[in-house]
Amino acid sequence: MLALNFVSSPGSGKTALLEATIRALKDKVSINVIEGDQMTSNDAIRIREAGAPAIQINTGAGCHLEADMVAEAVKSLDPKPGSILMIENVGNLVCPAMFDLGEAMKVAVISTTEGEDKPLKYPHMFRAVQIVIINKMDLAKHVDFDESACRANIASVNPNAEIIGLSARTGQNLSDWTSRLEKMLSDFRL
């Protein structure tokens, strides 16, 4: 299976992105989700309602998921071969950068409401990812978000990162992400 570790600060829209992705691809791809949060099962409930099996891992005071937690959750999910496993890590742009969960890649999600400087403030995280999704593009003009500056900041920290701007809420450019995900899965299966 293709495993992706989604990392971000709280409120960037990781769960909304996963919900939109599941809805867009549910007839094409088998997707399973591991939800990481310190408390509650709110996100796992949202993911199940979107149409994908989900396991909630609560870390308590822990600031990240660990490989053994993910391994146990994968056993419970029992995903089909050739499927996608989306791991939504605890909202934190520090600790998850240092922990390998067995994923094929890390995907950072930042939002326009957070400003352009997140990659500069948290360079270790942005160096650890292969894809950066700039979410909430529908709000960019309302929060004076400078997309060019954000892209330049990402490139200054990680010149190899692929950058996709979208809105999980409205679906703006969502197909850029889902097409990329389908290609990753196809390449992974080869």
Q: Which tens digit of pLDDT belongs to each residue from 139-163? A: 999 999 999 999 999 999 999 999 9
| Cα–Cα separations (whole angstroms), residue 73 to 38, 115, 137 | 16, 34, 32
**Stretch 59-88: mean pLDDT, rounded?**
92
Q: Is residue 159 within 8 Å of residue 141, measured between CB atoms? A: no
Task: Provide the sign of the torsion angle of the four alpha carbons 17, 23, 25, 29, taken in this order.
Answer: positive
Mean pLDDT of all residues in the chain? 95
5/103 Cα distance (integer angstroms): 6
β-pair type (31-37, 131-135): unpaired
User: Is the pLDDT reported for residue 190 higher than 70?
Assistant: no
**Stretch 60-77: mean pLDDT, rounded?**
91
pLDDT reported for residue 168: 98
**Stretch 109-120: mean pLDDT, rounded?**
97
pLDDT tens column, 34-56: 999 999 899 999 999 999 999 99
Q: How many domains does the chain have?
A: 1
**Stretch 72-76: mean pLDDT, rounded?**
94
Which domain range does residue 53 map to?
2-189
| Cα–Cα separations (whole angstroms), residue 139 to 12, 108, 112, 135 | 12, 19, 7, 9
**pLDDT band (50, 70, 90) for residue 98:** confident
Q: Which residues contact 3 (CB under 8 A, 6 or more apart)?
A: 84, 85, 87, 101, 102, 103, 104
**pLDDT band (50, 70, 90) for residue 63:** confident
The enclosing domain of 64 has a CATH number of: 3.40.50.300
Percent of the chain with pLDDT over 70: 99
Q: Which tokens hold the place of 72?
A: 């146990």
Where helices occur in 93-140 by DSSP H, the ranges are 118-121, 123-128
Give 113: exposed, middle or buried? Use CB within 10 Å, 0-12, 13-18, 19+. middle
Q: Is residue 87 within 8 Å of residue 62, measured between CB atoms? A: no
User: Is the pLDDT reported for residue 102 higher than 70?
Assistant: yes
